[in-house]
Structure 1
Amino acid sequence: MESTVTYFEEPGRKNTLTTLEIAKKRALELGIKKVLVASSHGYTALEAAKVFEGTGIEVIAISISNSFQELGWSMTPEERSKLEKVGINVLTGLHGLADGVAEGFLGEHTPGSIIADTLRMFSQGTKVAVEISIMAVEAGLIQPGSEIISIAGTSEGCDTALVVRPSFARKIKDFRICEILCKPRIA
């Protein structure tokens, strides 16, 4: 099989529409029916709803844990309501890596933090795309091992899309990144 990876010159929001179009094209080629998008305040999820409209592909938004409210990163009830009104399910939960993988503390480093740091070597979006996939499996929104597209980014918007077969956090070794569709070249 031959495929193309798109590398963005810089990370960030300006890559959102291109990332979503790349993900849509590949989802249709592969027959994927569920797409996850990381969305702290709803922008990326609303853009995804427009791009995926009429495709039969379900868009599920995964928001950052409510434990980040004091930093202004968490989705407000109004933002959640806006997404739900356009048919997007929203999941807010514990981070799949930083909180979900660790079964104990190993000094400052947990297994989840080591995995997260390794994924950040590819890009922040790669780390988040893996993390939200685990969160969706843990919540029962997708089946472990099912092929989906997971979309995330750096700061705002999205710049990374992966085809993955996610696992539960406690079975992290079963997680597979099947394809990198796009990511920032420099993060």
Structure 2
Amino acid sequence: MEKNISHIVVASCTGRSARVLREEAVKAGYGGKLVCVTHAFGFAGKGTNEMPDPERRDLENLGFQVYTATHVLSGAERGLSRVFQGAYPVEILAHALRLFGQGVKVCVEVSVMALDGGLLPCGTPIVALGGTKSGLDTAVLLSPSHAGALLETRIHQIICKPF
């Protein structure tokens, strides 16, 4: 597989992880696109967003495309499962991905979200970075699919993840 990666997607709630990626990308001479996917509004509390507007603007000025949307592997299904209990298909898939680690689930999720938001080219391998709680601990080479074809997403390589 060609590993000339044109897009890197990073999960970042506050902007800190995105800034770390930017520093490392500059050091490595990376010239591709950088996409930052944040938690959805309301994740930390009704009507709130964890990433302050000034931080979002700063990241955009650093060259990031910053995207906030409903989490593709929970979203509405989490709202239903909280009220009606039970297991729902998308949440089951999220739990299956967590078998490889929380970061792997995050990498798949933010990649699909970014693709659905029009920030990634369809059918192209990208690198996604995610983690567990705070910071980055996982990198995945994958070709995301749109949420409507989620099972067509292909994980080519788990570059790193915690034990």
Q: Which runs of 4+ in 1 moved over 4 A?
A: 104-107
Indicate the SS of the match to 2:34. Answer: strand
Match of 2:75 in 1: 99
Match of 2:4 in 1: 31
Aligned identity (percent) is 35
Aligned pairs for 1:77-88 within 5 A: 77-88=53-64
Are the structure 2 counterparts of residues 100 and 163 from structure 1 closer, same or farther at C-alpha, using a change threshold of 3 Å?
Answer: farther
Match of 2:149 in 1: 171
Q: TM-score when scaled to structure 2? A: 0.87
1:100 and 1:170 in contact (8 A); partners too: no
5+ long unaligned stretches in structure 2: none
Q: What are the superposed Cα offsets for residues 63-94 of structure 1, whole Å, 9 maximum, x if unpaired?
A: 00011242876211122112112111100001
Match of 1:56 in 2: 31
Q: What are the superposed Cα offsets for residues 72-131 of structure 1, whole Å, 9 maximum, x if unpaired?
A: 7621112211211211110000101113789x9795222110011111111111111000
Distance of 1:145 and 1:55 partners within structure 2: 21
Match of 1:147 in 2: 125
Q: What are the superposed Cα offsets for residues 116-160 of structure 1, whole Å, 9 maximum, x if unpaired?
A: 111111111111100001101110111232100010001111000
Alignment size in residue pairs: 157
Distance of 1:101 and 1:80 partners within structure 2: 28
1:41 and 1:73 in contact (8 A); partners too: no
AA in 2 matched with 1:87: G
5+ long unaligned stretches in structure 1: 2-28
Distance of 2:122 and 2:152 partners within structure 1: 9
Distance of 1:66 and 1:140 partners within structure 2: 19
Indicate the SS of the match to 1:80. Answer: helix
Q: CA RMSD in A?
A: 2.3
Match of 1:40 in 2: 13
Distance of 1:100 and 1:168 partners within structure 2: 17
2:95 paired with 1:120: no
Higher RCO by CA contacts (8 Å cutoff, separation 6 or greater):
1
Q: TM-score when scaled to structure 1? A: 0.77
Are the structure 2 counterparts of residues 100 and 34 from structure 1 closer, same or farther at C-alpha, using a change threshold of 3 Å?
Answer: farther
